[in-house]
Amino acid sequence: MNNILDRQQMHECDMYTINDIGIPSMVLMERAALGVFDEIRARKIDSSNTLIVCGSGNNGGDGLALARMLADEGDKVNVYITGNTSLASGEMGKQYEIIRNYNVKILDTFPESDNYTLIVDAIFGIGLSRNIEGEIFNLIRKLNDKRGFKLSIDVPSGVNSDNGKIMGTTFKAELTVTIGDYKRGCFIYPGAEFCGEIVCKKIGISNKPIEKSKTGHILTIDDLNKIPKRKVRSNKGTYGNVLIIAGSLNMCGAAILAGAAAYASGCGLVRIFTPKDNRIIIQNKLPEAVLTTYDPQYFDDRVLEKEIERADSIVIGPGLGMDVSAGKITEYVLRYATVPIIADADALNIAATNPSLLKKHNCPLIITPHFAEMARLCDTKIYNISNDILETAIKFSKENNLICLLKDANSVIAGSDGSLYVNTSGNNGLSTAGSGDVLAGILGALAVIFDDYSLCAAMGAFIHGLAGDYAVAETGERGLVSSDIVEYVKKVLKDVK
Ligand SMILES: NC(=O)C1=CN([C@@H]2O[C@H](COP(=O)(O)OP(=O)(O)OC[C@H]3O[C@@H](n4cnc5c(N)ncnc54)[C@H](O)[C@@H]3O)[C@@H](O)[C@H]2O)[C@@H](O)CC1
Ligand SMILES: Nc1ncnc2c1ncn2[C@@H]1O[C@H](COP(=O)(O)OP(=O)(O)O)[C@@H](O)[C@H]1O
Ligand SMILES: [K+]
């Protein structure tokens, strides 16, 4: 598990390391530049003709120190400094004094040449505090149009390191070498798209000041070991009874995919509550599931009550439809169930028509909206959601006392207790019908065995994405279908004891 820090947290760590521990700021800067230099060499990036564009803050200072290191080894290095060097920060000012003794050309005007092999963006890091305009706006546009490998130091200039928003415009990096700790905004879209590959260089910055505060996290492959162990002496009851309330006439595939995914993720028994027309097809496709069917015309909540009593977790919504019975079922489950609920798809669309529904729950609740569902829940336009994923998920989770897994290429998982995860597994092969149903099924199985439901949601998203990554290695992104994801969930979990 890696921490992802916001600006304030990173700043506190920097300041503590410099002022309380006593490591001079220039030493940290030297290590930062050395970290970037090492990465350039390790990847054999052609730096024979390098342009480094520096801002007037410490990010620019990192850039100047790097320029010196490359020039020292014989690379041709041009530096262009934006803004007024007399206003440069302390360390940047010192770096400017030092570099004059090296064979680095400081350009007076922005270079028109398109022959640079490497372009380094050292304009802004975590200090970016307002939208980029004017000269720097135009300069970043021109840099993006140039050929040559594009590398950003710490954060691509223009990406808000807190939330991934684009501040007017942004440099588009192929590689971001981030300093000290990962920055939260680099993993959240739209900013994530401008970071390229992200590597983190440790430079001795202490995390002591934030030990007790909540940071965001990204899961890594080692975190699969956080999935509770299976027992030698067990029976199907040990791993839980997942109730899946899904499917409507012509939409039974959603119930099948969610049920199959719950089984692939290790639950003991899947029960499916679905309209009677779906019985035969589901029994054919998923014989391991136990079915209870209902007539949508004559819905009887006593039958549902019995199902809820038996369940260890409930998945509600995939393909459920929005008719009167679906509405009654959703309301009943949210009001009376006490086991963890995963509310997806139509359960969320129903909740959007009656906003008080989500507030009435008496259980741990994970919701898994995509942008359109979230826009309905928040009564706003989709672009307001897609441009502000982080705030949307955090605010909604707190207002409704639930865990919001807001789906995107990098989904954001926010809990009302302040927990935060960003999921980085997965690929565009997962943009396929039924993919979300599979995720809901995985979460249903995990919710039985996890006590920490934010981690549970993050783990589900991580497994789902990994299954997609394993799958495309064989199917390719275009050919991936949702039933493939289920098969690869089994492979992802194969070696987890
Ligand atoms: N010893 C240190 O202090 C260390 C510094 N580090 C580097 O320092 C960076 C942070 O340095 P700073 O806090 O100086 O911040 P930055 O270098 O990111 O930028 C701050 C400067 O940009 C200006 N600015 C902000 N938004 C602007 C906009 N839209 N248009 C024009 N000007 C704008 C600010 O007024 C300020 O002068 C990190 O991202 C990292 O690269 C790291 O190397 C770690 C150690
Ligand atoms: N480009 C992508 N990269 C990573 N994950 C993706 C990508 N596209 C979709 N996904 C994941 O696939 C799932 C799609 O869910 P959803 O849109 O609800 O599908 P459906 O409604 O068809 O079941 C989400 O978990 C999402 O995070
Ligand atoms: K930068």
What are 468-496's pLDDT values in tens digits? 999 999 989 999 999 999 999 999 999 88
Phi, psi at 244, each rounded to 5°: -110, 115
pLDDT band at 27 (very low <50, low <70, confident <90, very high): very high
Contacts of 20 (CB under 8 A, 6+ apart): none
The structure tokens listed for 298 are: 């004559």
Confidence at residue 497, expressed as pLDDT on a 0 to 100 scale: 79
Question: Do both 271 and 194 map to the same domain?
Answer: no
319 is in an annotated binding site: yes
Question: Do both 356 and 421 map to the same domain?
Answer: yes
pLDDT band at 21 (very low <50, low <70, confident <90, very high): very high
For residues 256-271, give the mean pLDDT: 98
Question: Do both 250 and 185 map to the same domain?
Answer: no
The number of the ligand 2 atom at minimal distance from the alpha carbon of 438 is 23
Cα distance between residue 290 and residue 472, in whole Å: 32
Ligand nearest to the CA of 155: 3
- Give percent above pLDDT 90 in the chain: 93
The CATH number of the domain holding residue 394 is 3.40.1190.20
ipTM above 0.90, yes or no: yes
Strands 76-81 and 420-422: unpaired
**Number of structural domains found in the chain:** 2
pLDDT tens-digit map of 286-342: 999 999 999 999 888 999 999 999 999 999 999 999 999 999 999 999 999 999 999
DSSP track, 231-273: PSS--GGGG-EEEEE---TT-THHHHHHHHHHHHTT-SEEEEE
154 is in an annotated binding site: yes
234 burial via Cβ count (<10 Å: 0-12, 13-18, 19+): exposed
The number of the ligand 1 atom at minimal distance from the alpha carbon of 132 is 29
> Would you call 316 helix, strand, or coil by DSSP?
strand
In this structure, the residue with its CA closest to atom 24 of ligand 1 is: 128
Ligand nearest to the CA of 27: 1
Question: Do both 190 and 228 map to the same domain?
Answer: no
pLDDT band at 95 (very low <50, low <70, confident <90, very high): very high
Question: Do both 366 and 349 map to the same domain?
Answer: yes
For residues 91-99, give the mean pLDDT: 93
Strand partners, 217: 3, 421
Of the residues 189, 218, 247, which one is the last residue of a structural domain?
218
Question: Do both 164 and 244 map to the same domain?
Answer: no
Ligand nearest to the CA of 150: 3
Q: 139 in ligand 1 pocket by Cβ < 6 Å?
A: no
Question: Do both 103 and 114 map to the same domain?
Answer: yes
pLDDT tens-digit map of 102-143: 999 999 999 999 899 999 999 999 999 999 999 999 999 999
* Ligand 1 centre distance from Cα of residue 62 (Å): 10
Say whether pLDDT at 87 is over 90. Answer: no
The structure tokens listed for 222 are: 């080692």
Say whether pLDDT at 228 is over 70. Answer: yes
Question: Do both 165 and 306 map to the same domain?
Answer: no
Is residue 28 within 8 A of residue 204, CB to CB? The reply is: yes
In this structure, the residue with its CA closest to atom 12 of ligand 2 is: 430
Question: Do both 272 and 168 map to the same domain?
Answer: no
How far out from the chain centre does Cα 492 lie? 19
For residues 202-224, give the mean pLDDT: 95
> Which long-range CB contacts under 8 A does 368-374 form with residues at least 24 apart?
368/342, 368/343, 368/344, 368/405, 368/407, 368/436, 368/439, 368/440, 368/443, 368/457, 369/344, 369/404, 369/405, 369/406, 369/407, 370/407, 370/436, 371/406, 371/407, 371/408, 373/345, 373/348, 373/349, 374/406
> Would you call 37 helix, strand, or coil by DSSP?
helix
The CATH number of the domain holding residue 96 is 3.40.50.10260
Question: Do both 95 and 51 map to the same domain?
Answer: yes
Question: Do both 199 and 292 map to the same domain?
Answer: no
Kindly report the average pLDDT of the chain as a whole number: 96
Question: By residue range, what is the domain housing residue 473?
Answer: 221-493
Question: Do both 173 and 143 map to the same domain?
Answer: yes
